[in-house]
Amino acid sequence: MANIMIRRTDSGALSFYLPKKDLEDDIVSLEFDTADRWGGELVLKDGSRWYVDPLDAQPRLPITVKAKRVGEDD
């Protein structure tokens, strides 16, 4: 699992940042994005998929969370 940062850009989009690889990309979809559930599978603009354990509420951004690349074994 990797520590990633999710923040909101000036345009209002969600942005994904993986410091270890200096990877930054826009998030194009988020599995859960409601007031009572946030997270799950997210898809980046480059097509890669990551999984963040869902939270019980929308977090205050920016936030650092653990994420796992979907399709990768640990």
3-state secondary structure 1-64: CEEEEEEECCCCCEEEEEHHHCEEEEEEEEEEEECCEEEEEEEECCCCEEEEEEECCCCCCCEE
In a domain, 74, yes or no: no
pLDDT at 74 over 60: no
Query: pLDDT-derived band of residue 69, with 50, 70 and 90 as boundaries?
Result: very high
Give pLDDT tens digits for 7-62. 999 999 999 999 999 999 999 999 999 999 999 999 999 999 999 999 999 999 99
Query: pLDDT-derived band of residue 72, with 50, 70 and 90 as boundaries?
Result: low
The number of folded domains in the chain is: 1
What is the CATH classification number for the domain harbouring 44? 2.40.50.240
Residue 34, domain extent: 2-69
In a domain, 52, yes or no: yes
In a domain, 43, yes or no: yes
